[in-house]
Amino acid sequence: MRLALCLALLGNVAALAKVPPCRLAQTIIRAPEIETLELLTRRTRTDAEVAARLHEWVRAGRARIVSDISALRTHPQDSHARAGTEYFWWQELDQDFDPAMEFPTRSGPVFIGATLTYKSENRWTCSFGPRAPLLVRWPVVWPAQKKPALDWTEQLDVFEEKIDVDVATPFAGTGLLGICRPADRLERAAGADRWLHVTEVAAESAEPDNAAMSPPHQRVMTMVFAVPDGVVDELLTTHRESGDDALLNRLLDDVKAGGARLQMAGGCRNRGELVSARRHAYPTEMHTFPSAWDTMSVGDSVTVGDGEVSVTTDLAPPARAEFPLSKSHPDFVLWWPEPLRAHLTADTSLPGHGAMLLGITRMPDFLETEPADCRALVFIARSDHDDRLIRAAPRDASPGVECEAQVFEIDAADEAQFQTEGWQLPDDRRLDALRKRAADGSARQIARAWLASTAGRAAKTSVIQERCHVTECDTDFEVAPDQYRPTALDVLRVGVEFSAQASPLTDESDAKLQRFAGGLEIICHVRQPRIPTLDEQLDSLRQNQGECAQPLLHELKWTTEPDPATGRIVFATGRPRCLGVKRLPGAGDAARRFVAFVSVQVVR
């Protein structure tokens, strides 16, 4: 946080200075993924050192320049240059239901290419389209009449890598603006070459005598590794409060040896945002006969600023739900995108140089991903800041907290062992016993999440698939008895979510107990929701005066309850706490129970 403040002050000082003419250059280099990550993280290197090595790789044919733009900046106004293709595509559609026709009434431009924009408020924006847009066909269905109609319309999905960061000029030399996976990474075949796009920026004074300020490098690289469940305990043992360089090195070695998979890598300068994604278009009104569209980002995004790191990564290309709408016309379907994505937000003090474990989230078994045996996602950041900034930054005195949640499925007969909740109980022994049973198969761990954050600041991690269901629809059973037309949809979030905000209280008299302000919450699902079938939907609409059938959500939720006497949550120092036993709502699953444990560790 304070490091960020220091950076901001340096930026403002530069902004106040008179802006002499300078030349801004922006180069995007496509470089091999793992080698580039090792270059960025195995040891401390300045931006200039990394850029020099990348250019050596370009000369040797191991990397390639995919975009290169430079532009003169003469006075403190926006500078802008771009190269690419301006696509015209339709922006408004009109409809005719009877013959199932959608036709464009208005078109407009969409730019695909490379852009350099430097704004007068010291904001550098780079955007790059690594490939042409993808043409996606969407069904156009009008089933609420006797002679139903089916057609298709076409929509453009655009791929874009966009980096937007604070960079104060004048400066001299080279800096890295951002690093990302190509925006079309998820569309490529498994086994295809894996690359990172590194955006290098440089400025040189157009007046030789001008004493320009060299840019303080301030690089934050985030990575998500998918590892087997069994490795998580080893990783947490390797984790050190003093720094996680050894842990990161081990993960990189595991990826090279095939024992782990790099799920995501992306980073940018401090106080920056990066998005590398497919902008997937989907209908938002009249979903079967689209009249309005929006886009969702499917790919990676990273935000770094003021101590906060936020990472989101899609684990697969946008999955598509298909709702059958007619019993006599199987072609009549409604499509809806159902993204599967992992997310982490942590507000923490990153080291000046080095790696820090931010979180671990285990994917629930019912979420399908490849490879199936790497279900734990490890979020880790590596920061490299200029020594001048590290020296100038005041030391942050706030302690850190590390929170963990684990959820197990047990036999109903064992419920009594876990019925009592409370910090007074020796829950570490109960948890150890349960973990042993999970190892021998007599119990099952269904969720696990671990988060690091600064005391009192919110942190969150999740792996969620969005599932949709129909909430409103039109019917005309006299005319068309076996079909319906959805008019409103809602999204169910299924997977696992863990959020924590815990601030240790300093007036503690009992060294064995630690009271906290704040709370922890774990929400997890046991399996995919039961979405009503076409028959169930039609039955419900007939029998319940047009009410849609409801989905069945297998959701479990635990929240730390405060101690009645103090209003604070209480943990025995360094020991887990049982949050009690739950069963799934609704009938069925009578033989199964679910028990959650959480722990909070203060890191000084």
Min dist CB 543 to other proteins, Å, is 31
Residue 104: closest CA among 287, 283, 288, 291? 291
Q: Are 383 and 353 in contact (CB under 8 A)?
A: yes
| Closer of 149 and 363 to other proteins (Cβ) | 149
| Distance from C-alpha of 145 to C-alpha of 151, rounded to nearest angstrom | 15
Residue 109's CB is within 10 A of a number of other CB atoms, namely 10
Residue 510: closest CA among 429, 560, 432, 566? 566
Min dist CB 276 to other proteins, Å, is 17
> If you search the block for the tokens 């009192």, which residue do you land on?
456
| Closer of 43 and 80 to other proteins (Cβ) | 80
| Closer of 329 and 583 to other proteins (Cβ) | 329
| Distance from C-alpha of 118 to C-alpha of 22, rounded to nearest angstrom | 12
| Closer of 109 and 481 to other proteins (Cβ) | 109
| Closer of 89 and 366 to other proteins (Cβ) | 89
Min dist CB 335 to other proteins, Å, is 15
Strand partners, 300: 276, 313
| Closer of 137 and 388 to other proteins (Cβ) | 137
| Distance from C-alpha of 530 to C-alpha of 492, rounded to nearest angstrom | 11
Residue 127: enclosing H or E segment and its boundaries? strand 123-128
Q: Are 306 and 260 in contact (CB under 8 A)?
A: no
Handedness of CA 61, 32, 38, 382 (dihedral sign): positive
Q: Are 392 and 218 in contact (CB under 8 A)?
A: no
> CB-based contacts of 249: which residues, under 8 Å, 6+ apart?
42
Handedness of CA 102, 108, 112, 118 (dihedral sign): negative
| Closer of 210 and 559 to other proteins (Cβ) | 210
Q: Which two tokens stand for residue 58?
A: 């370009």
Min dist CB 330 to other proteins, Å, is 12
Q: Are 470 and 414 in contact (CB under 8 A)?
A: no
Min dist CB 207 to other proteins, Å, is 10
Phi, psi at 123, each rounded to 5°:
-115, 120
Residue 427: strand, helix, or coil: helix
| Closer of 67 and 499 to other proteins (Cβ) | 67
> CB-based contacts of 222: which residues, under 8 Å, 6+ apart?
264, 265, 266, 267, 302, 304, 309, 311, 358, 379, 380, 381, 382
| Closer of 138 and 498 to other proteins (Cβ) | 138
Residue 341: closest CA among 473, 493, 457, 502? 493
> If you search the block for the tokens 């001299």, which residue do you land on?
172
| Closer of 130 and 305 to other proteins (Cβ) | 130
Min dist CB 106 to other proteins, Å, is 5
Min dist CB 332 to other proteins, Å, is 11
Min dist CB 137 to other proteins, Å, is 9
Min dist CB 164 to other proteins, Å, is 18
Min dist CB 176 to other proteins, Å, is 19
| Closer of 75 and 436 to other proteins (Cβ) | 75
| Closer of 187 and 428 to other proteins (Cβ) | 187
Q: Which amino acid is present at 521? A: E
> CB-based contacts of 491: which residues, under 8 Å, 6+ apart?
466, 467, 468
Min dist CB 70 to other proteins, Å, is 5
Residues lying near other proteins in the complex (CB under 8 A): 21, 23, 65-75, 77-90, 94, 96, 98-101, 103-108, 113-114, 131-132, 149-152, 154, 206, 331
Phi, psi at 581, each rounded to 5°:
-105, 140
| Distance from C-alpha of 89 to C-alpha of 109, rounded to nearest angstrom | 6
| Distance from C-alpha of 347 to C-alpha of 455, rounded to nearest angstrom | 9
Min dist CB 118 to other proteins, Å, is 9
Phi, psi at 22, each rounded to 5°:
-145, 160
| Closer of 92 and 368 to other proteins (Cβ) | 92
Strand partners, 124: 118, 165
Distances (CA, A) of 376 to 39, 227, 239, 407: 25, 5, 16, 14
| Closer of 84 and 519 to other proteins (Cβ) | 84
Min dist CB 110 to other proteins, Å, is 10
Min dist CB 125 to other proteins, Å, is 14
